[in-house]
Amino acid sequence: MSKKWSIAALLVYVVYAIGMYFYIFHGPSGGVPATLKGTVADPQTFMTERELLLSDDFSKIRNYLFFIITPFEWLVYILIMFTGLSRIFEKWADSRWKLIKNGAYLFLLYLFTTLIFYPIDLYRYHLSKEYGISTQEFSSWMKDFVIDFWVNFGTTLIVVLVLYWLIQKSTKKWWFHAWLLTIPFAIFMMYIQPVVIDPLYNEFYPLKDKELEAKILSLADQADIPSEHVFEVNMSEKTNALNAYVTGIGENSRIVLWDTTLNSLTDEEILFIMAHEMGHYVEKHIYIGIASYLISILVGLWLIAKLMPWIISRFGSVLKIDKVGDIRSLPLFFVLVSFLLFVSSPLSNYISRYQETRADEYAMELTGSAEAAVSTFQNLAKAGLSEVNPPWLVKIFRYTHPPMLERINTIARYTDTKKEKPEQEKDADDQTETESEKEKQTKPKTE
């Protein structure tokens, strides 16, 4: 029975992968609408012919990898259960101490899946190098890969040990208790991210350009954002892409600029990017994000708590799982988490794109420089070989930011609105003056 299910799962995945191949490489392309041909939003006006070709090829490959890797992850975990490999891991991890057993099982599972996905990660690294995005040496990439392994394993270990301890204590309410613990854990991770985790990968230091720092802090002061220092990070040894962000909470919050951004953009363009990040702060997006994250975790854990017992009761013999509290059920838990994240990504991405649009609009309000905004987006697209107008399916599943075509149009609409307002105000003033003159002419004279 398990063999038949394994073959069926493989066939379904192969059919899906072939279907996605034809959609990505031979399906409808986003392209540029006829009304925007030749405008500042048209990549042909700011990208060379070679950049356009590379952008098209690179985007299609990345999009295809995105759509086949996540289902491949589900397939790997399903086969681990179907083939009995999960039971073998449990046997190797056997210990009289439950925590040690669960921790050892997770390590074996995590190591195995890391090795399975290593060729894909390596291919993505070489792909990025081939298209000129990555500048990172292989030794540096391997160092980051190893750091990733231990950081992710460490955080996952904490989650799994607590999770299965809660399942043992309360088979019905474990999901709610796990959610309650998620709140302080998430806040703690956000607090230590800038000062503990990020420095493991890159070197952070105060912005060297003090004149630019003064401009950024002045902008932050206009937005009523408490900030004392701006940091730059050495990313040019790893990438040609551009980025800037605000990270952390409380006293560990900081504004961070990649050195590639500092080296490639003008001060006006950098200030626009900073104003965009400040827009997230002013619009309370970080708090909305935390609230959305906690709500989604609550709903997700509740769904998993309902689905796992049902799946095990129906297919437990095939999956070789006796009950939810068995550590052998962990691959099933990972599959459900990954699946729920994938199917909910269109909604979360939509919310994120809306927030990014609001941040762009705020940046325009704060800086008032449409030229800097347009040139910033054009440079970002060139540096990252971005697809300015992706196909619909790619957009809803992949894009947390609006495509560059939409972002440049946002600037254009903002500029048009600003131009219309003074004219409307002028027309209103003229109308008022005309009505005033009429009143004077019709007003009866008095002796």
Exposed, middle or buried: residue 26 (CB in 10 Å: 0-12, 13-18, 19+)?
exposed
User: Which entry of 213, 232, 277, 406 is annotated as an active-site residue?
Assistant: 277
Q: Which amino acid is at 98?
A: K
Predicted local confidence at residue 351, as pLDDT:
93
Per-residue pLDDT at 432: 52
**Entry pTM:** 0.87
d(CA 362, CA 219): 12
Tokens of 221: 């002061």
Structure confidence at residue 313 (pLDDT): 92
Q: What is the pLDDT of residue 445?
A: 44
126 marked among binding-site residues: no
DSSP 357-376: HHHHHHHHHHH--HHHHHHH
DSSP class of 134: B
Task: Give residue 422's pLDDT.
Answer: 55
* Cross-sheet strand order for the sheet of 244-247: 204-206, 230-233, 254-258, 244-247
DSSP-derived pairing of the beta strands 254-258 and 230-233: parallel
Q: Which of 360, 361, 387, 406 is catalytic?
A: 360
Q: What is the pLDDT of residue 446?
A: 39
277 among known catalytic residues: yes
**Read out DSSP for 153-218?**
HHHHHHHHHHHHHHHHH-TTTHHHHHHHHHHHHHHHHHHHIIIIIGGGTS-EEE-S-HHHHHHHHH
Is 198 labeled as catalytic in the residue annotation?
Answer: no
Mean pLDDT per block of 10 residues along the chain (447 residues) reads 84 95 86 81 87 91 95 95 92 89 95 96 95 94 96 95 92 92 87 88 89 86 74 91 80 83 91 89 84 92 95 90 91 96 94 92 86 89 88 92 86 67 56 53 45
Instruction: Identify the residue whose tokens are 């090795």.
Output: 115
Q: What is the pLDDT of residue 218?
A: 86
How would you class 309 by CB atoms within 10 Å of its CB: exposed for 0-12, middle for 13-18, buried for 19 or more? middle
Structure token pair of residue 349: 């991405």
Is 276 assigned to a binding site?
Answer: yes
229 is in an annotated binding site: no
**In the structure encoding, which two tokens stand for residue 123, read together?**
């291919």
